[in-house]
Chain A
Amino acid sequence: MFKRFRSLFRVVTRRRDFEDGMSEELRFHVEQWTEDLVRSGMSREKAARLIRMEFGSLDNVKLDCREAFGVHLFDELRRQLSYAARLLRKAPGFTATALLTLAVCFGANLTIFAVIDSVLLRPLPFPESDRLMTIFNTYPKAGVERDGSSVTNYYERRGHIPAFASLSVYGYGTEIVGEPGSTERLQTMRVSPDFFSTLGLGPAIGRTFTDEETTSETNHVAILSDTFWRQRYNADPNVIGKQIRVNSVPRTVIGVLPPAFRFLSSDARVFLPLAARLEDRAPSRRHSGGNVIQMIARLQPDATLAQAQSEIDAQNEALEVDDPQAKMIADAGFRSLVVPLRADHVAAVRPTLLLLEAGVLVLLLIGAVNLVNLLLIRASGRVKELAVRQALGAGWRYLVSEVVVETTLLTFAGGLLGLAIGAGGIQLLRGLGADRLPLGSRIVFDARLALVALVAAIIMGIVFAVPVACFHLRRHLGNALQSESRGGTSGHGAQILRHSFIVSQIALAFILLAGAGLLGLSLQRVMAISPGFQSDHVLTGQILLPWADYSEAGRLKFVESLMDKLDHLPGVLSAGVVNNVPFSGNSGKSAATVAGHVRRPGESARGHYSYGVAGDYFRAMGFSLRAGRFLTADDSRRSARVCVVDEDFARYYWPHASAIGQGLWDGSEAGKDAEAFTIVGVVGGVKQAGLTESEAQGAIYYPYAFRIGDSVFVAVRTSLPPESFALTLQKVVRQIDADVPVSDLRSMDTRIADSLVAHRSPALLAGLFSGIALLLTSIGTYGVLSYAVAQRRREIGLRMALGAQPGQIRSEFFYLSLRLLAGGVILGVIGAWLTGQAMQAVLFHVPAFNPAILAGAVFVMALVSLIACLLPSQRAARISPMETLAEE
């Protein structure tokens, strides 16, 4: 079979050679034969006549030869293609509508499929990546769903879980890289030595980290990403052994990763060993993950996820036996979950993406129904022509192939246009934040995608041909020749088919419209939530203070002088510093113990958002004060043990009393009385991770001196537009230390808007899809009704001649479209309700059945389809009886 295709392919690609060879062969035969005949005594003329008689026409022989070789099919195809192209050119209105419909539908599908492909389908760029797992600790009853893993977990599990071939840990970070004066802030990763072997992809040059390099004294080595190596070192092959300064500490480059290396969505340029002190590896630190360090593992070829999970569970149980905190850990519902790495990484966006994919598929379905309808209408215009041709002996095979060629030509051209729209659509999606999706930076428009689209286009062309071909072949020739010749009404069955197509189109468009409405309403509800502070006029930025350059005292001094400088700037109303502003994308919780609080049975230590603040942070952010006072600049200087909690925290521990004057300890154990922090104020609750955050976990604000970290966020309330203050802020920081950049400079309003992208973009896209769906549906309705009017011209003319009023005719078509609309809407409401149920995962406080949304959708749908039917019914009413009767 394959060989035959190959020989056919050879002939088709070298068609001229085939023809020349055939002619030469036949000429040779004739000449040889003539010679033989002449030699046997025949005259040349007589020989020629004999040969002509025996051989028949040479052209006929050639025709038979071509057919024997299968070449004739290609000649046929070429002829049919040019015929189809001619037909399509002759109907520019139909062709343009069809091509546009196809292009938009293909383009939209291609765009969303590109995202689905990169985020959900294409494997991670590691060998046998489906065996990569992630393992994280969870304490659901303490309000901590995800706590990463601890260094202790790593050392306890490494080599002790038989289901895993390899296990490693990593943490994301940002570091200041480069020599003083030319530093830049880069994303980095700290990884355990077996990180690269777990992934199955290691350095292209050099080596990986060793176990000896995992202490803070010996970890002065680094592995570079391919990008960084090319940019900073100009792809120098002798880079191994060179020094690179990371956070002012010189490190030796020991390896360069291959270009294809990309771990999940990370854009890390420099990889450093994950160093840990011996005491951090001790059993007492087992539950100190804090979502900073993550664990990955590779399953053994014959092991399953369930096996790994049960081995992890068994080990956890065995280890917790002699843990003094065992009871509390168990109360918190502690478990370590094993989850496939990729699924875990994209879990949050999966429902939204699937929803959008369903949306574009519905769009494609509407477009397809539209097109089939238009094709059928067109086919009925050609019934007579085809009936005549069939009557004259055209075979059904030939007619079917003609239809297939025509529809496939149409869909293929539409597919090509769709490629262009898809490429544009992917750009549009980038603007809507698609590259910020997990694995979103892999979204590309490549040859693979184009191939998928074109193959789909061809398949669609063949599918479209089926109803058209059936329409032509099923007809009784005699009937067709007779009835259509006098422009009579079309078959009842065909009409029902066309109408049910319109009904289903209206229903599908209605579902899309209602779905978009639900998403829009959900977005509106999210946006209506107050973040708990006044987000306007606040500029925030992150400042990184590397340990090597800054001691704790140095950091305090830096923050002090920053506050001092900012307070004296014109336009600054108030300024403050915090470990982490709300909506920064990373917010860790840690435990606190409240003096005098007796844990209820089953209650574990709770994780609370815990921050250190300096300057006038609360006023800068516009927090509201519920009781007591804010922490002020003086508190951070005096180092008095005071703190402020939010109302959620206060309500949880003192539901009936005041929190002011109460004491608490930072950590999961009660300490000495002298170490307790006294609550001096209660502030309003604030959304920390996002507006949709439902669980009020409580927050504690300590003076910065007690919570010094290597990164701080500065928040400045200005009287000017906050963005205009960005340059001034950078200048002020540079005055204190020229090597410390301010990054992630955004106003709080922008941060909140950015956090809504997961709600806004799907709503926008769904709105766009339903807009297109409405347009397609109105085109479809218009097309079918116009056709119905054209079909019944004679009948209407006759009726008007007998006294029917234009108004009667108009309302007859109007009622027809009302019936179609009603049918579509009834089906649509059912569909929309089911869709709403399926969408619950991505909706925020919006029930599946929302009467307002449905009423709105009915209104829009009715408006659009009635406008679409207005023109045809108007035309029907204006039919002149004289003209139509004279036509016949």
Chain B
Amino acid sequence: MGKTAELLPGTLDMLILKAVSLKPLHGYGVLLRIRQISKDALEIPQGSLYPALYRLEHHDLIAAEWGQSENNRRAKYYTLTAAGRRRLRDETAGWNRLASAIAAALNTTPEEV
């Protein structure tokens, strides 16, 4: 495992939405998928994954359905709802704006001031 970064508050929901948007996943799958798409750079605090999933489901951003896992076990699969898709788009745009603004700010050299 390489170097992992601490999650910023509020970013977990965004990552879950992104993970689920690629393909319906069960809870454990969400964890693996975030690790995979962040190239192992992000470590999810295990205890807060499920409360986040339940919150998103309660707010109707993801929908849950029971299905069969790869090894034929019963598992709860999450998919993105229309509202979830909208939310993901907004949050992604918002994040990108914030990130580039901060990057620009941090890259400022004395000459530019």
- A-side residues, CB < 8 A to B, are 3-4, 7-8, 21-22, 24-26, 28-29, 31-33, 51, 54-56, 60-61, 64-70
Contact = CB atoms under 8 A, between A and B. Distances in A.
A756 B66 CA distance: 73
B38 interface: no
Given A24-B76, A69-B54, 5 more contacts: A22-B50, A26-B50, A32-B69, A61-B47, A61-B51
Of residues B31, B50, B60, which shows the largest number of chain A Cβ atoms within 10 Å of its Cβ?
B50
B69 to A, nearest CB: 7
A754 to B, nearest CB: 64
Contacts of A60: 47
A28 B28 contact: yes
A25 B50 contact: yes
Contacts of A55: 46-47
Contacts of A26: 50
29 contacts: A3-B60, A4-B58, A4-B59, A7-B57, A7-B60, A24-B74, A25-B26, A25-B27, A25-B50, A26-B50, A28-B27, A28-B69, A28-B73, A28-B75, A28-B76, A29-B27, A29-B31, A29-B50, A31-B73, A55-B46, A56-B46, A60-B47, A61-B50, A61-B51, A64-B51, A66-B54, A67-B51, A69-B55, A69-B57
A8 B58 contact: yes
Given A28-B26, A64-B51, A54 B60 contact: no
Interface in B26-67: 26-28, 31, 46-48, 50-52, 54-55, 57-60, 66
B54 A65 contact: yes
Contacts of B52: 68
A339 B66 CA distance: 65
Nearest to B32: A36
A65 B51 contact: yes
B76 A4 contact: no
Contacts, number: 66
Nearest to A24: B74
Of residues A32, A33, A55, A64, which shows the largest number of chain B Cβ atoms within 10 Å of its Cβ?
A32
Contacts of A31: 73
A68 B74 contact: no
B58 A70 contact: yes
Nearest to B29: A32
A61 B28 CA distance: 15
B1 to A, nearest CB: 11
A29 B46 CA distance: 10
Contacts of B57: 7, 69
A31 B55 CA distance: 23
Contacts of A66: 54
A21 B50 contact: no
Interface of B: 26-28, 31, 46-48, 50-52, 54-55, 57-60, 66, 69, 73-76
A29 B26 CA distance: 9
Contact of A64 (B31, B47, B69): B47
A55 B47 CA distance: 5
A14 to B, nearest CB: 14
Nearest to A35: B71
A104 B48 CA distance: 52
A44 to B, nearest CB: 18
Contact of A65 (B28, B50, B60): B50
A6 to B, nearest CB: 10
Nearest to B66: A21
A8 B27 CA distance: 21
A68 B27 CA distance: 15
A122 to B, nearest CB: 39
Closest 10 CB pairs of A and B: A64-B51, A68-B55, A68-B54, A56-B47, A65-B54, A54-B46, A68-B51, A32-B28, A29-B28, A69-B58
A10 to B, nearest CB: 11
A64 B46 contact: no
A21 B54 contact: no
Contacts of A64: 47-48, 50-51
Contacts of A69: 54-55, 57-58
Contacts of B74: 24, 28
Nearest to A18: B54
Contacts of A22: 50
Given A60-B47, A61-B50, A7 B26 contact: no
A21 B76 contact: yes
Contacts of A67: 51
A64 B47 CA distance: 9
B76 to A, nearest CB: 5
A17 B28 CA distance: 21
Contacts of B26: 25, 28-29
A69 B46 CA distance: 18
A481 to B, nearest CB: 37
Contacts of A33: 28
A375 to B, nearest CB: 36
Contact of A25 (B47, B60, B75): B75
B12 to A, nearest CB: 12
Nearest to A3: B60
Nearest to A70: B58
Contacts of B50: 22, 25-26, 29, 61, 64-65
A29 B53 CA distance: 13
B47 to A, nearest CB: 4
A70 B28 CA distance: 23
Contacts of B28: 28-29, 32-33
A516 B55 CA distance: 60
B111 to A, nearest CB: 47
A449 B60 CA distance: 36
Contacts of B54: 65-66, 68-69
Of residues B27, B28, B48, B59, which shows the largest number of chain A Cβ atoms within 10 Å of its Cβ?
B28
A65 B57 CA distance: 11
A54 B59 CA distance: 27
B75 to A, nearest CB: 5
A4 B47 contact: no
A69 B66 CA distance: 18
A312 B82 CA distance: 61
A69 B53 CA distance: 10
B51 to A, nearest CB: 4
B60 A4 contact: yes
A24 B54 CA distance: 14
Nearest to A29: B28
Nearest to A67: B51
Contacts of A54: 46-47
B58 A68 contact: yes
Contacts of B69: 28, 32
A31 B26 CA distance: 13
A464 B94 CA distance: 46
Contacts of B76: 21, 24-25, 28
A61 B54 CA distance: 11
A33 B69 CA distance: 14
Nearest to A57: B47
A28 B30 CA distance: 13
B57 to A, nearest CB: 7
A755 to B, nearest CB: 66
A7 B58 contact: yes
Contacts of B48: 64
Nearest to A60: B47
A21 B50 CA distance: 12
A60 B69 CA distance: 26
A64 B26 CA distance: 19
A29 B47 CA distance: 12
Contacts of A68: 51-52, 54-55, 58
A440 B48 CA distance: 63
Contacts of A32: 28, 69
Nearest to B73: A28
Nearest to A62: B50
Nearest to A7: B58
B55 to A, nearest CB: 4
Of residues B47, B54, B66, which shows the largest number of chain A Cβ atoms within 10 Å of its Cβ?
B54
Contacts of B73: 28, 31
